[in-house]
A and B are shown apart, each in its own frame.
Chain A
Amino acid sequence: MVAETAAEWDVDMEDKQKYACPEQQRVGCGLAGIYTALSIGGVLPIMHSGPGCIHAISSVLSVANGGQNPVPYMESVVPSSNLSEAEVVFGASDKLRSVLEHSLRYYKAEIFLLVTGCSAEIIGEDVYEIAEQYTTPEKTVLHVPLPGFKGNNVWGHHQVLSALIDGYVEEYGEREVVPKRVNVWGVVPHYDPMWVGTLEKLEALLRRIGLEPNIIYSPWGGIDALKKIPTAEYNLLLSPWTDLDIVKKLERKFDTPYIHFPYMPIGPTAEAELIRKLTETFGLDEAFTESVIKERTDRYFYYFDRNLVWLFDMHNQRSLPREFFTNASASASLSITKYFVSDLGLSPRKIFLPEDVPKKHRKTVKKLFLETAGEYLTEEDIIFTDDGGLFEQYLKDVDQMVRKSAVIGSIWDDITAKKANMPFVSVCAPYGDVLVCDKQYFGTDGALTLMADLYNDAEKKGLVSAVV
């Protein structure tokens, strides 16, 4: 039984947003785009910024996001000009040149990105000139402006990819298209806490159905994968909006068409849809790909069936969460909404997207949520904000009945959910200062892990009980 009516949930969001003052940060600033660079073997960012910028970004994107640091260049060895007051007044290009010269000699990298933070951008250094001057046939130096006052880490990620495409791939990229080769886009390394595990599973699936995935991030990619970008038959975008600009850019530059499958698939329905979409686009052997779908779906339901007593008998259905909120990135929110709505039978109540989705993409994102869960959501239920604390405030006005709704978010929401005694799963940055290792919620296998994480949290909070 669900006690709340739709009208009771209709808290006035305008009122809550009266003061535009973000709290509970779930993003890094533009400079955190360096994590994308640090995830591509052979690329080294050099920071032209304040001394502490590396730590400000590493907390949300690295240690507090599943305990993951970049490999091999951990934050502690990322070169930085460490701008202080004197350089801000008297100029800092000599310092930057010196740091760059030594970096070129000390690090086994081929592409060096001079990234500028707020202070360097305000004082207006001509870093493009320095980049050009130090570029040789063996080593490419690029300038990427990433000031925090221009955007967050997702913006920074796009800036870094864009600079690599314009400044490196265009010049050094191979051009002959290889059939069945597909570039994978949509995952923001280090921002998605499960990015490595997810890409690992995706890579295996794509290979299984006969494609040749090209993933530029470690542990697969690197400079060679960058060079292969123009040779793909298609660019595969697996997110509602991140990297959409990148695949459009690649279409313009290299005539590579893109496939926009708007979420990383979780669960049998989404996974089968992706496999069928790829089968059709690439002209794969349908009989074979259908057999792959069957095999994976059968496995999912075998494991699911093994939980039936726990799910529907010992713990009766009345007390498991049947509705959910997300307060997470658009990518994680949409993937999980798709699984919950299509396979697990949970309905979304409200979708909070506290990652400051750019205005130009909001219409698309809204449309995708309505396509996925339009039976349960209206346009007003999808909330774009940069205020991570908005959800916590909203929740204060919602009556909590016997059956608790699930909360899908980050460690910030874990605290909120604990206080409200609601089942919770962490899916996005900052994931928490616990180890994520190779965990992922990809496809049919990952869906089982997600289901277990959600229901186990309900159990541990004492919510799942036949006697409630």
Chain B
Amino acid sequence: MAVDLRLDEPPVRETRTRSIIGYNGSLKDLTKQGCDGCLKNKNRCFTTGTYCSHLTAITSVLGLPDTLVVDHAPIGCCGVEMIFSGGYSLNQPGPGGEFRDNVRMFTTKFTESDTVFGAAEKLKDTVRGAFERHHPKEIYIATSCTSAIIGEDVGAVAAEMTEELGIPVTMLGAAGMRSRLWSTGFDAFFHSTGKARFKPPVKKEDTIIYAGFASIAQETVAPIFKKLGLDMVFLTAGSTIEDYERASQARVSFGQCDVDDSYILSYLEENYGVKYFHIHQPNGGIGFERFMRDLGAYLKKEDVVEEIIREEREKYAAKIDALKPMLAGKTALVALGSGYVFEMVRMLKELGMEAVHAVSYHYDPLTDASPDRNDRTPVADVRELGMDVSVSVSNAQQMEVYLAVKKYKPDIVITRAHGAGCWAAKVGVPCLDPGLGINIVGYRGLYLFADALASSFRNTAVFDAMKARYQSPFTEEYEALPPTRFYAKGGEESAKEGCHGRGDGSGMGCRYGR
């Protein structure tokens, strides 16, 4: 399915990439079923609160300079802005020594009568008021469950306000209930910003695009690409309008993970010939070498790439080797987003550790890239490295992860942002946020990861203390359950039945063991 930015919002992942949030088995089985087009979602009979595309979409857009978001929603839906966009760590003085402004996020504050009569006029007034107050260069109007349920035509309001205000006013498809995958919000972010900001190329430039949440640590990879004659352009939550305008002129692209960026980078490849590298993510040593060789072959600069690989390997080899004895034989449970979880499993193996279980917060059998729509890094890892691990897929269902931690008894839980680490810590298992984006790229990334792991094992007093005090707030019945208990009987969704190719990219077998 080609990416079409003329639509108001991206088609949801359930249909576009056949994504699932319920599965239990192994990586080999998961990737095989995914490639064969027969992976089914398992429904649950018990769920806890999770995350939604509204939050991922608006927090990404809010980082953009000279931008403003109007949330067409009840008060509350935009609450998440604080943690991602207004926190102290993000409010340090910028390069010019100036403090950043507060993020600009307005809400139409839906009332009960708005849910009955609609709130299009109020939305227009809010857009006008927000524009008058801050004079941004562009405005995004985020939709919500409420605006979607009452069928508000936000796209039409956006078009009308674009005309009236003379700046791009773009709908941001962010109704949380549309998709059960919060990553649909990443697509919505890139869909709307791409729609508002992309321009056709004037000339081709020797640049490489990096797409992701942030461009943090860019200074560590920019010199590497410079050796290949490439300058970096960033499509992240912080990119300027100019960055976007240059995107179509780039030669090649890659991103932090294909979950985040296959949507937009595939669009640039299809429409402007910007070659997208995604089958081998450049994380850790193995990932880096594979990615760089792919890139070198395309650019016909194999020799330069081999030199880069040698240099990077040598730069960190002694440092990594010094840490390895502290990690040898340790086990980990990894609970992360679909784009990162298996990267971490591979990187742990590189360091001599073993992942005993991986919780993937969803799984996409397909990406938006063509022609190899279902050739993803985990698939490549199984094919090329014979990698395998016990896997469950859950949208951050921590009552399951808690039971998995009990079952697999890892030495450490590697996770981020959705609560798994807190419960691991409570029962005495050290937890670690492994970082993401450029900070896990290459041998430098592998070294940082090894260092963080080693320091987690060095002094575990805080976890030991918590374990000694732990009293479960759950019943004995729950504590005795296996982690797969919550799948409803016969919960497989019938919509994705059939294990045959459907002529739309699924079931092509993706070279899996064939």
Q: Which residue of A lies closest to B98 (CB)?
A: A419
Task: Judge whether A82 and B49 touch: CB under 8 Å.
Answer: yes
How far is the CB of A219 from the nearest CB of chain B, in Å? 14
Asked if A77 and B419 make an inter-chain contact with CB atoms under 8 angstroms apart, the answer reads yes
Q: A29-B74, A74-B419, A430-B82 given. 15 additional CB < 8 A pairs?
A: A21-B107, A25-B105, A50-B177, A51-B52, A56-B80, A57-B79, A78-B48, A80-B49, A81-B47, A82-B395, A83-B145, A148-B73, A149-B111, A418-B99, A419-B99
A-B contacts, 25 listed (Cβ < 8 Å): A19-B128, A19-B133, A21-B70, A22-B75, A25-B79, A29-B79, A51-B177, A52-B50, A53-B52, A54-B50, A56-B76, A57-B76, A75-B49, A75-B419, A105-B475, A105-B477, A106-B478, A107-B474, A118-B110, A148-B76, A149-B74, A150-B112, A386-B109, A411-B88, A412-B86
- Are B82 and A31 in contact (CB-based, < 8 A)? no
* Alpha-carbon gap, A171 to B105, bound state (A): 45
Q: B51–A51 contact, CB under 8 A?
A: yes
Q: Which residues of B contact A63 (CB under 8 A)?
A: 83
Chain A CB within 8 A of B126 CB? yes
Partner of B179, one of A72, A84, A103: A84
- Does A119 belong to the interface (CB within 8 Å)? yes
Known interface pairs A18-B129, A415-B86. Does A118 touch B473 (Cβ–Cβ under 8 Å)?
Answer: no
- A24 (CB) vs chain B CBs: closest residue: B102
Do A416 and B146 touch (CB < 8 A)?
Answer: no
CB distance from B40 to the nearest CB of A (A): 16
A residues in contact with B132, CB < 8 Å: 19
A389 CA to B86 CA, complexed, in Å:
13
- Using a CB–CB cutoff of 8 Å, the interface residues on chain B facing chain A are 45-55, 70, 73-83, 86-89, 91, 99-102, 104-112, 114-115, 125-126, 128-130, 132-133, 145-146, 149-150, 176-180, 182, 395-396, 398-399, 402, 418-420, 422-423, 472-475, 477-478, 486, 488
Question: What A residues does B88 contact at CB under 8 A?
Answer: 411, 414, 432-434
**Taking A23-B104, A82-B49, A415-B100 as contacts, is the C-beta distance between A106 and B399 under 8 angstroms?**
yes
Return chain A residues, CB-CB under 8 Å to B54.
50, 52, 56
**Do residues B52 and A52 form an inter-chain contact, with CB atoms below 8 A?**
yes
A60 close to B79 (CB less than 8 A): yes
- In the complex with contacts A59-B80, A412-B102, A419-B99, A108-B49 CB distance below 8 A: no
How close is A76's CB to chain B, nearest CB, in angstroms?
A: 3
Name B99's contact: one of A49, A107, A153, A415 (CB within 8 Å): A415
Write out the residue numbers on chain B whose beta carbons fall within 8 Å of the beta carbon of A116. none
Residues of B near A149 (CB, < 8 A) are 74, 110-112, 114-115, 146
Chain A residues with CB under 8 A of B399: 77, 106
Given contacts A98-B46, A415-B100, contact A21 B129 (CB under 8 A): yes
Q: Choose among B73, B402, B473 the residue that contacts A73 (Cβ–Cβ < 8 A).
A: B473
Kindly state whether residue A20 has any CB partner on chain B within 8 Å: yes
Partner of A98, one of B45, B128, B145, B418: B45
Contact of A52 among B146, B182, B478 (CB under 8 A): B182
Q: A389–B129 Cα gap in the complex (Å)?
A: 12
Q: Does A406 contact B (CB under 8 A)?
A: no
Residue of A nearest to B108 (CB): A21
Considering the chains assembled together, what is the distance between the CA atoms of A56 and B54 in angstroms? 9
Chain B contacts for A148, CB-based, 8 A: 73-77, 110, 146
Alpha-carbon separation in the docked complex, A99 to B47 (Å):
6
Inter-subunit contact A107/B473 (CB<8 Å):
yes
What residue in chain A is nearest B87 (Cβ atoms)?
A: A433
Residue picked from A73, A78, A82, A105, most chain B C-beta under 10 Å: A82
Q: Which of A51, A99, A411, A412 contacts B176 (CB 8 A)?
A: A51
Known: A29-B76, A106-B399, A412-B102. A80 touches B177 (CB 8 A): no
Q: Which residues of B contact A102 (CB under 8 A)?
A: 45-46, 486
A169 close to chain B: CB less than 8 A: no
Q: Which residue of B lies closest to A62 (CB)?
A: B83
Complex Cα–Cα for A28 and B75 (A)? 7
Q: Check B422–A76 contact: CB distance below 8 A.
A: yes
Are B82 and A76 in contact (CB-based, < 8 A)?
Answer: no
At the interface, yes or no: A187 with Cβ under 8 Å from chain B?
Answer: no
In the assembled complex, the Cα of A353 lies from the Cα of B76 at a distance in Å of: 18
- CB-based nearest A residue for B105: A23
Given contacts A55-B55, A80-B50, contact A392 B75 (CB under 8 A): no
Chain A residues 381 to 430 lying within 8 A of chain B, measured CB to CB, are: 386, 389, 392-393, 411-412, 414-416, 418-419, 430
Contact residues in B for A392 (Cβ distance below 8 Å): 102
Q: Among B49, B87, B91, B149, point to the contact of A55 (Cβ < 8 A).
A: B49
Given contacts A118-B146, A149-B111, contact A30 B76 (CB under 8 A): yes
- State in angstroms the CA–CA spacing of A22 and B76 once bound together: 11
Cβ of A79 under 8 Å from chain B: yes
Q: Which residue of B is nearest A56, CB measured?
A: B79
Contact across chains for A85 and B475 when beta carbons are under 8 A apart: no
Q: Is A236 an interface residue (CB 8 A)?
A: no
CB-based nearest A residue for B43: A95
CB distance from B88 to the nearest CB of A (A): 6
Q: What class of interface size applies to chain A in its complex with B?
A: 35 or more
A370 within 8 A of partner (CB): no
Are B102 and A389 touching (Cβ within 8 A)? yes
Cβ-defined contact, A69 with B422, below 8 A: yes
Pick from A72, A73, A107, A149 the residue with the most CB of B within 10 Å: A149
A336 at the interface (CB under 8 A from B): no
What's the Cα separation between A85 and B52 when bound, in Å?
13
* Interface contact A83-B419, CB-CB below 8 Å: no
For residues 277 through 312 of chain A, which have their beta carbon under 8 Å from a beta carbon of chain B? none
What's the nearest-Cβ distance from chain A to residue B399, in Å? Answer: 6
Q: Indicate with 1 or 0, residue by residue over A14-50, a CB within 8 angstroms of chain B CB atoms.
A: 0000111111110111111000000000000001011
A79: chain B residues within 8 A (beta carbon): 46-49
The answer to whether B106 touches A80, judged by C-beta atoms less than 8 angstroms apart, is no
What 7 A-B pairs come out closest when comparing CB atoms?
A29-B76, A19-B129, A76-B419, A52-B52, A54-B49, A148-B74, A80-B49
Chain A 121-157, CB within 8 Å of chain B: the 1/0 string? 0110000000000000000000000011110110000
In the assembled complex, the Cα of A75 lies from the Cα of B423 at a distance in Å of 11
B80 pairs with A55, CB closer than 8 A: yes
> Which of B55, B107, B110, B422 meets A25, CB within 8 Å?
B107
B419 — which chain A residues lie within 8 A by C-beta?
74-77
Residues of A within 8 Å of B79, CB to CB, are 25, 28-29, 32, 56-61
Determine whether the beta carbon of B75 is less than 8 Å from that of A27.
Answer: yes
* Minimum distance in angstroms from B467 CB to a CB of chain A: 15
A236 to B104 Cα, complex, angstroms: 40
Report B-chain residues with C-beta under 8 Å of the C-beta of A202: none
Report the separation of the CA atoms of residues A25 and B82 in the bound assembly, to the nearest whole angstrom: 9
Q: Are B76 and A152 in contact (CB under 8 A)?
A: yes
Q: Is the CB of B106 within 8 A of A23?
A: yes
Minimum Cβ distance to chain B for residue A324 (Å): 20
What residues of chain B lie closer than 8 Å to A77, measured between beta carbons?
48, 398-399, 402, 419, 423
How far in angstroms is the closest Cβ of chain A from B465? 16
Report the Cα distance A222→B150, complex, angstroms. 40
Closest to A150 in B: B112
Q: Which A residues touch B488, using CB under 8 A? A: 98
Nearest-neighbor residue (CB-CB) of B58 within chain A? A56
Q: Are B475 and A108 in contact (CB under 8 A)?
A: yes
Assembly CA distance A430 to B86 (angstroms): 10
A314 CA to B73 CA, complexed, in Å: 52
Bound-state Cα–Cα, A147 to B129, Å? 26
Q: Which of B46, B133, B398 contacts A76 (CB 8 A)?
A: B398
Q: Are B177 and A119 touching (Cβ within 8 A)?
A: yes
Complex CA gap A47/B49 in Å reads 8
A residues less than 8 Å from B52 (CB atoms): 50-53, 55
Please tell me if the beta carbons of B75 and A152 are within 8 angstroms of each other in the complex: yes
Q: Known: A393-B133, A433-B83. Is A25-B46 also a contact (CB below 8 A)?
A: no
Contact of B125 among A19, A55, A75, A418 (CB under 8 A): A19
Chain B hits for A31, CB < 8 A? 76
> Are A22 and B177 in contact, CB atoms less than 8 angstroms apart?
no
Residues of B within 8 A of A119 (CB): 145-146, 149, 177
Give the shortest distance, in Å, between B75 (CB) and chain A (any CB): 5
